Amino acid sequence: MQPTQAINDERLGSIDPFFVQLTALLVLLGLTFVISASWHESVRYFGNPWSFIIKHIVAIAFGTAVMVLSSFWHIQWWKKYAWHFIAAVILGLAITAKFGIISGGARRWLDIGFINLQVSEFAKIFAVLIMAKVLTEKKNRGLALFAVMIMALLVLKQPDLGSSILIMGGAVAAIFASGFNLILFFTALAGLGYLGWYQVLNTKYQMDRIKYWLEPYSDPLGHGYNLIQSIKAIGAGGFFGVGLGGSLQKLGPLPISYADFIFSIICEELGFLGAVTLLLVIFAWIFKALEICFRTEDEFARIFGFGITMVFAFQVLINIGVATGLFPITGMTLPLISFGGSSFLAASLSTGIIMNISRHSS
């Protein structure tokens, strides 16, 4: 089925209005928090307070277009071209490994002119896509799982352990939603275990992350710095917060406060009450997405939708877990909230696919 045919499909129903409202609310909240958290760093690095804000608004514009288009394309179109997407992602990750931009000691971004593309953000979605395809067709399942592992290993070499875990986690979620194929499930779990355990034990910088996560004050100005400043920001907010725009940690002490640690700034400015309110909106989005997925009679759509929703949920868990000290430090954005073009586009694509499933479930 071609995209133009899918867009003109008269059988399309309407998107669940509550899901649309929740999505719009998250995007607006994200824009508000990015404006608050980024202005100081924008002035510091670019000489004006609008640099990060304008980039985020552009990401929202492109993300909205992606969301709308993917909400109209028939869900079976994704299934038809699943292997093409996998090939493109593996190629993109391989090119990134050779020619990618190095930042913060990691080679994760590919300069394509108008954006520094982080291919791993889309690998999380397409790992679920290929597993949903082969699980419903009941063929090439071993090959698909092998392709997913290749993507995870390429991302691991960047290095990006968090995204690697999400890629394998999405595959595990798809297998679970398909009816729990034991062989595939435990094979995927073994791959996930390799990423999360073997690599940590055999990589010095990962061992250092574990060490200083457990004992951040043993190196308060080095490895433990980010976690200490994040906890300080959260603690400073108290119950009601210091007020929107009033954070002190974003003025320099907490690095990348508009992306990886935006939840810490939210806690500081809006307090426990504001953080809980945001979490309730996010949880409502996740639960509504799951309801939409399980309402459809299309097995492929159900598995695909469930998998990408769980990837979204896992990413939320990791981001907030890192900010609060529950997990070791790793670079992970809060989807639809944090600054980050590739992250926002990937979250928009996932959202559009859920909307697409909602149309065909109506």
Tens-binned pLDDT, residue by residue, of the chain (362 aa)? 444 444 444 455 688 999 999 999 999 999 999 999 998 888 888 888 888 999 999 999 999 999 999 998 888 899 999 999 999 999 999 999 988 888 777 888 888 877 789 999 999 999 999 999 999 998 898 899 999 999 998 998 888 888 998 998 999 999 988 886 667 777 777 777 776 666 666 667 677 778 888 889 888 888 899 999 999 999 999 999 999 999 999 988 888 899 999 999 999 999 999 999 999 999 999 999 999 999 999 999 999 999 999 999 999 999 999 999 999 888 899 999 999 889 999 999 999 999 999 987 75
How many residues are listed for the chain in this entry? 362
In a domain, 354, yes or no: no
Residue owning tokens 């959260």: 234
Helices (H), 114-250: 119-137, 141-156, 161-177, 182-193, 199-201, 204-214, 225-237
User: What's the domain range around 264?
Assistant: 81-334
**What integer pLDDT is reported at residue 1 of this predicted model?**
44
pLDDT at 195: 66
Token duo for residue 112: 């394509």
* CA quadruple 88, 94, 95, 96: dihedral sign: positive
Q: Give a yes or no: residue 359 inside a domain.
A: no
342 within some domain: no
Structure tokens at 22: 């929740």
Q: How far apart are the first and last CA of the chain?
A: 20
The pLDDT of residue 214: 85
Distance CA 68, CA 92 (A): 25
Within a domain: 235:
yes
Report pTM. 0.91
Helices and strands counted in the chain (H then E):
15, 3
Per the CB < 8 A criterion, the answer to whether 228 and 213 are in contact is no
- Residue pair 166/124 in contact (Cβ under 8 Å)? The answer is yes
Indicate whether 362 belongs to any domain: no
* pLDDT at position 181: 66
Cα 212 off chain centre by: 25
Q: Is residue 210 part of a domain?
A: yes
Residue 113 counted as domain residue: yes
CB neighbourhood size of 321 (10 A): 15
Phi, psi (deg, nearest 5) at residue 248: -95, -30
Q: Note whether residue 260 is domain-resident.
A: yes
Report the half-sphere exposure of 98 (CA within 13 A, side-chain side): 5
Q: Is 8 within 8 Å of 352 (Cβ atoms)? A: no
β 101-103/106-111 pair status:
antiparallel
Number of domains in the chain: 1
Give the HSE-up count for residue 268: Cα atoms under 13 Å, Cβ half-sphere: 27
Per-residue pLDDT, 356: 94
Q: Which of 279, 277, 286 is nearest to 323 (CA)?
A: 279
